[in-house]
Amino acid sequence: MKESQNIEFKESWRDEYIKWICGFANASGGKLYIGINDKGEVSGVPDSKKLLEEIPNKV
């Protein structure tokens, strides 16, 4: 899998990525993968369970 107009990789979460989510929502959709570097390699996410609870509340 490679990055494209509808796919974006980020190694860690930052609240500024909410703009990416809004951009996908206003366009034709897309996927934001957190814990994957720009080469498509898995880097992992510390405390992923907490992050999965926080992101929907922030969006």
Task: Please report, for the chain, the start and end positions of each structural domain, with discontinuous segments joined by +.
Answer: 7-58
CA atoms of 31 and 8, how far apart (whole Å): 6
| Identity of the residue numbered 11 | E
How confident is the model at residue 5, as a pLDDT?
A: 87
How confident is the model at residue 18, as a pLDDT?
A: 92
How confident is the model at residue 2, as a pLDDT?
A: 87
The residue ranges of the chain whose pLDDT is under 70 are: none
How confident is the model at residue 20, as a pLDDT?
A: 87
